[in-house]
A = this chain, B = another copy of it.
């Protein structure tokens, strides 16, 4: 059925948005079905194992979206510094209008569930690793050794996560912009 794939996609889309904004415990299944316009039976049809299963798939859904954006910038920009700075600038721009805030890609959910759900923790960790790898690959293409590139990928990832957290709390993009500014100090030119 066409309606079936659309229902599933619709639920994932809504769930991903709400989990990013409100977190795992802050988002109820009732809210997800209400905003997606689908009945509760549909949710449990597509995700028979309930909330945890839905959250894992929502994390992967969010992760893919970020991966595509990040990869696109890596392809467009000449060097890694420009690409990373462009990504941070795009992320920061959502704080220009407070209604545009999209949440923390998966960091909020990760922090909430790291100690209570191994499957969810693993899903979040995988998302982090994928983003890290995209950054590292670009660095390797630009003359970095693999080990150093991996480390810098982790560093940039952590910094952005913290920057979003602080920008969200202060409702001000300055924390992200300050991080963007120091990227050249951390990612020096090679070759």
Asked if A23 meets B158 with Cβ closer than 8 Å, knowing A107-B165, A182-B186, the reply is no
Q: Which of B108, B155, B178 contacts A155 (CB 8 A)?
A: B178
Q: A128-B169, A160-B162, A163-B162 are in contact. Are A26 and B112 (CB under 8 A)?
A: yes
Given A154-B174, A155-B179, A178-B151, answer yes or no on A165-B23 (Cβ-Cβ < 8 Å): no
Chain B residues with Cβ below 8 Å from A179 are: 155, 158-159
Does any Cβ of B come within 8 Å of A111's Cβ?
Answer: yes
Docked-complex contact A165 and B165, CB < 8 angstroms: yes
Decide: A155 and B128 in contact? CB cutoff 8 A.
no
A125 on the B face (CB < 8 A): yes
Q: For A161, what are the chain B residues with a Cβ–Cβ distance below 8 Å?
A: 161-162, 165-166
Residue of B nearest to A27 (CB): B25
Say whether A29 faces chain B, with CB atoms less than 8 Å apart. Answer: no
Set of chain B residues within 8 Å of A112, measured between Cβ atoms = 22-23, 25-26, 108, 112
Task: Assess whether A154 is in contact with B128, with CB atoms less than 8 Å apart.
Answer: no
Majority SS of interface residues in chain A?
Answer: helix
How far is B21's CA from A116's CA once the two chains are assembled, in angstroms? 10
Contact flags A56-76 to B (C-beta < 8 A → 1, else 0): 000000000000000000000
Chain A 147-184 against B: per-residue CB contact (8 Å), 1 yes, 0 no? Answer: 00001001101111111011011110011001100100
Check B21 against A169 for contact (C-beta < 8 Å): no
A10-43 vs B: 1/0 string, CB under 8 Å? 0000000000011111100000000000000000
Is A124 in contact with chain B by the CB < 8 A criterion?
Answer: yes
How far is B168's CA from A162's CA once the two chains are assembled, in angstroms?
13
